[in-house]
Amino acid sequence: EPEVTQTPSHQVTQMGQEVILRCVPISNHLYFYWYRQILGQKVEFLVSFYNNEISEKSEIFDDQFSVERPDGSNFTLKIRSTKLEDSAMYFCASRQTSHETQYFGPGTRLLVL
């Protein structure tokens, strides 16, 4: 069964460094998402992406964040200058059409020191 994959599974970085989290959505999916889950808190929507542009973004998704689909398979989340509070599990999700289920990847655990 096709699945969403994410790399790396864990990343440790120093505050102020740039990080890129990578996701490979399911191949025929058209809608892409990033969510995050700070330890002990609920999963929060960050951004949705469709037709090579951002569809919607939350208040969390400020100028330090960006997303890109650099080729036909990858979907990346970049944090330009990481802060301590960016430490979280980041989930990528994808969906085929606007009314289908979102399928989640296993997540990348980011730790900012």
Partner 1 sequence: AQSVTQLDSHVSVSEGTPVLLRCNYSSSYSPSLFWYVQHPNKGLQLLLKYTSAATLVKGINGFEAEFKKSETSFHLTKPSAHMSDAAEYFCVVSDQTGANNLFFGTGTRLTVIP
Residues that bind partner 1 (CB under 8 A): 31, 33, 35, 41-45, 48, 50, 55-56, 91, 93, 95, 98-99, 101-107
* 10 versus 80: smaller Cβ distance to partner 1: 10
Residues 6+ apart with CB under 8 A from 51: 30
Min dist CB 62 to partner 1, Å, is 17
What is the 3 state secondary structure string of 52-99? Answer: CEEEEECCCCCCCEEEECCCCCCEEEEECCCCHHHCEEEEEEEECCCC
Task: Report, in Å, the least distance between residue 16 CB and partner 1.
Answer: 28
Q: Give 76 or 106: the residue with its C-beta nearer to partner 1.
A: 106
Least distance from partner 1 to the Cβ atom of residue 10, Å: 10
Q: Which residue has the tokens 């330090």?
A: 64
